[in-house]
Every structure is written in C-alpha cells, then in structure tokens.
Amino acid sequence: MHHFKYRDNELYCEDVPVRIIAEQIGTPFYLYSHATLKRHYLIFDEAFEGLDRLVCYSAKANTNLSVLKLFESLGSGLDIVSGGELYRGLKAGFSPDKIVYSGVGKRVDEIDYALEAGILMFNVESIEELELINKRAGILETIAPVAIRVNPDVDPKTHPYISTGLKKNKFGIDKEAAIEGYNVARGLENIDVVGIDCHIGSQITDAKPFVEALESIKDLIDELRKIGLDIRFLDMGGGLGITYNDESPPHPREYAKEIVASLKGTQLKLILEPGRVIVGNAGILVTEVLFRKSGKDKEFIIADAGMNDLMRPTLYSAFHAIEPVVDNEGQQITADVVGPICETGDFLAVDRKISDVIKGDLLAVMSAGAYGFTMSSNYCSRPRVAEVMVKDDNFYVVRDRERYEDLVNGESIPPFLDV
C-alpha cells in the first residue's frame, strides 16, 4: 500500500498533485511519500513482535538525510556499507550503537572511523579483513565487535547481479570454513565476537530461501556455542522484494511468521536490514516528455530523465511501471521510453504499452524509491536531480537540484595548463 493515487485522473502524492510540484521546481525529480515510508517501516518492525530485535534500515537503498531522519525517529538502526553512509547516519542522528557496518571492501580510514564512532558491530567478510580490523583496533586502543558473514549457499532465485548467498558470489565466508574463521577471531586480542551474519540477496519474492538460510545458520550457531563462543546477535540481512510488475512477494507478516517461530527461545537478538521493501514503493521519479519520434520499427518517447538518473532498467533490465501524471484516458501505444544520454542502453522502458503522451506531458516512473537517486551519476555532465518529500498537503525539497557550478566543484586546472 502506498500513497500515490489518482484523483479525477490526476496523480497525487498524499494530498499534493504531482503536477503542481513539477510546475514549481521543474523536472526531473524524485518524490517520496512520508506516510508511505512511515507505514512501511512500522509494518515491517511490528511483524517481528515478540522477538528481541533491531531493524537496521539498509542505507544504500536511499540515503537522503530526511529519509534517514524519519527512520531514526521511529527507532530504527542503520545498516551501512561505507564511511560515507556512516557519516550520513551520524548526521541524521543515529546512535552509533545501532549501526552495523557491512560490505566486502572496507578501507583502513573507514574502519578507523567506525571504531572511533563506536558502532554496534562489523559484519566481516574475510579473514584478511578480520585481521585488519584487529590491527586497527589495537592501534586505536579499543575492542572491535564483529560478526562473520557466513555464506549458506542458498539460491535466493533473484537476478544474478543481486544474488549474494551462493558459493560463487564474492560475499562472506563458506559455511564449511566458518568454524575456522571464528576460531581465528576468538584468538585475536582486539576482537569481540558478538554475532553471525547472513545475507542471501535482494528483491527476493519467496520466503523459503530465508527460512532455509536461517536453519543452516542456527545449526552453525549451535556448533559455535559448543566451542565456547557466545553468539548474541543473528543478523539475517535484508532482501525482501517488492512488486514492480507482476511479482508476488510475501507480506512482511508472512515473512516474519516463520522466522519468529524458528527463533523463539534461542536467546538471540535478531538484526534485520530491510531497504527496498520499505522505500521502494514510497518513491517515484517524475520526468517530462521532451519529444516524440517515430522510427521505422520503433516509436520513441524521449524524456528528460535518463540512465544517469535511474540506472536500474539499464543495469538489470529492471521493470518500472510508467504512468501519466495527468491521465487523459487516450489510446495506448507501444513505445520505448528513452532518455537524453548518448548510449543505446539509455532507456526507462522498452516495447512498453503506454499512454499516447505528447511533448510537455509528465510521466511518473513508479517504484523508484530504492536504488534510484543513490545510484545516479553526473554522466554526460548532467546535474543530479532534486529530491522532494510530501507530508499530507505540503511538499519539501529535501535535496536541491544540482547546478552546473556543482559539476566542477573540487576540480582545478594545474598551473602548466592555465595559460
């Protein structure tokens, strides 16, 4: 359920016509619904009622400070994968002891930043990383709390680019090698082994892979406890999918039901890292039609948003529904919706049935709240778009549209060229 609805053939975000926002700030822009973000977070968290838990929103899905602040105000923790996300999280007010640092390639400066901040734990992806964290903690005269990310070799049945739990993926340590990894960890003087981490992928639309992974990890926890390791945190990651087109992902309550039943009485604190399932359908990308073009075999709708603004269709052949902001209930055509980037792969939709829009019409690219702005770039020297949040009948620009001056911020011409 989201708060993007038509009233008299005009698309609204909560109680604000999307057209009015476009007229006042221009296009393209990302638009987020406060009510949807709040509702999705609370539904997910409450689904795990009865378990000792910490929901750590996955920052990489959408790192806008206003989005982060909303979740912080609701009691969320934060899952981060970079020093920049840690900076954003602290800036938004997250308590460091509710921040989990995941990711396969942590730099020394990022590790030091997290140690000095006092985060809840590192999700460690390799023995070399574990040894580096131990070394840095020693230099900083502190103790690093860690969980080891264990790869359970479970097929999440999702796009191969966002599958992370198979042996062939770059993430984590094989389950068979996990005992050895934990033995190494407990022998390091600046490491406190506090948990175990498992994340099998993203945009998963079936609860069974989660349950399969959980059972595998529980067996491993029993083995670790037998050798004297007190595993307190079980981090199950995120990955629950949303409906983009015809997917039928489980409701969070259905997803949570079996996990809650399986963990009752285990004395483990469950950490969850939802991202897409909370923000995905809480945001859209609004773009204006620049031109229509009829080719010999194709009809093209050329919009002012391109692959640099929304990468998912180009990167994953991902489907996003595209709706007219003002629906004139005219005929539908089959067309490619493309952007202004000089790449054949610059498209928002291919061979899509869509309203027969004309120059100046507005289009809403739906389900764009996750991995939208966060994956955007300045390719072709295009300023990144504005971000807007609606609450009730008001809208707020929560990130200004970049200007041309912003494109060269930090650049300089050395003296030998300045002639």
Provide the H-helix boundaries in 227-328. Answer: 252-263, 276-279, 312-316
Report phi then psi at 110, rounded to 5.
Answer: -70, -40
Q: Which of 39, 90, 32, 41 is nearest to 62 (CA)?
A: 32
| Helix (H) or strand (E) segment spanning residue 365 | strand 362-365
Measured between alpha carbons, how far is 410 from 415 in angstroms, rounded to an integer?
Answer: 16
Token pair belonging to 401: 């549209």
Which residue do the tokens 């999702």 mark? 158
- Helix segments in 101-207, DSSP class H: 108-117, 127-139, 175-186
Residue tagged active-site, from 13, 198, 342, 380: 342
Q: How far apart are CA 156 and CA 379, in angstroms?
A: 32
- In the residue annotation, 198 being an active-site residue is answered as no
Q: CA-CA distance, 344 to 199, in Å (whole number)?
A: 34
- Catalytic residues, by residue number, are 342
